[in-house]
Amino acid sequence: MDGETLATQALTDTSGPQTLTERPLSFPDNRLLIALCGEFDRNLAQLEQALGIIITRRGNQLVLHGEGDATDAAERVLRGLYQRLEQGRTVEPGDVTAAIRMGGRSGEGTTPADQLEMFQGDQVEIRTRKKIVEPRTAAQKDYVRNLFTHELVFGIGPAGTGKTYLAVAAAVSMFLDGHVDRIILSRPAVEAGERLGFLPGDMKEKVDPYMQPLYDALNDFLPSKQVQKLIEEKQIEIAPLAFMRGRTLANAFVVLDEAQNATTMQMKMFLTRLGEGSRMAITGDRTQIDLPRGVPSGLLEAERVLDGVKGIAISRFKAVDVVRHPLVARIIEAYEAASPTDA
């Protein structure tokens, strides 16, 4: 049997007879194979747990043991990640998770695994000063494409799906490439179910706690000294939504975060700030509205009214697109499954 031959054998475990496959995969560069396996074979362990297979190493081969569909998916993931290493890129645990999502078994909330487009040509990535950002699910991939091809994009879905992070990455990339002259990041200054009282300091110090997630994203993509310099020079502006009234935002990439907490009037006001040469990304989560009872969310209204309008793209995310801890996705799914009386 050569390195690429599929040998099928019947094995028996405690659950009864089951036909499993043993599939050897050859990788010519041993140095890259070590990187593919990860420290203490953590990448292989991650793949085994996700797909329910066993992977053993024999020289420059990885041997997959499992059901046919699972070994098919594992082979696509491993070959895609190995190709990534051949291109001089790294493989981190998050990249393995992304590859599984994009190339794992269908029917479990992932996309059908025809190919790993993300790693085999047709790459979608955002280049910033500090890192290259890659979408990790099919929905994220479509969202990133929309950010670069539409003037107004809505990213709507649960927490942890990368809506704001990818939007800020796109803003930084377009700014560095000279497509826009400045970046404007905004969000409603609405407390998440708590009353924090009067905050000390000047206006910037009062609103900074609300804007911290945006600062965090910026510092992921640009050196902190450059972020500070650009803020001082007004090329990056981080401000509450209320400060947008009366302005025309031209030649800018504008991001409105936590848009579910904008009222209908605020949302209309913000949308009409869009100026010549600008792009706008609006992100929010329908399930985390902190507006007073009886006050409708401007995000929900905008989603209904603007769906299908030329030049506007609406990207919708689900729990499967969560790229934080896997438990976050299960928590979101549990809340979605609960009835209003249970919730």
CATH number for the segment(s) 126-337: 3.40.50.300
Distance CA 275, CA 251 (A): 7
pLDDT exceeds 80 at position 167: yes
> 7-103 and 126-337 share one CATH topology?
no
Q: Where are the domains of the chain?
A: 7-103, 126-337
Helices and strands: H and E segment counts in the chain: 11, 12
Q: Comparing 201 with 254, which gets the higher pLDDT?
A: 254
Distance CA 199, CA 202 (A): 9
E-strand ranges in 203-333 read 236-240, 252-256, 279-284, 312-316
pLDDT bin (cut points 50, 70, 90) of residue 163 is very high
Percent of the chain whose pLDDT exceeds 70: 80
Pairing type for strands 54-58 and 126-127 reads: unpaired
What pLDDT, on the 0 to 100 scale, is given for residue 335? 79
Distance CA 321, CA 263 (A): 27
pLDDT bin (cut points 50, 70, 90) of residue 264 is very high
What pLDDT, on the 0 to 100 scale, is given for residue 159? 86
Average pLDDT score over residue span 42-67: 87
pLDDT exceeds 60 at position 181: yes
Q: Tell me the pTM.
A: 0.67
Q: Are 135 and 163 in contact (CB under 8 A)?
A: no
Positive or negative, the CA dihedral 330, 90, 48, 65 is positive
The CATH class of 7-103 is alpha beta
Average pLDDT score over residue span 56-84: 86
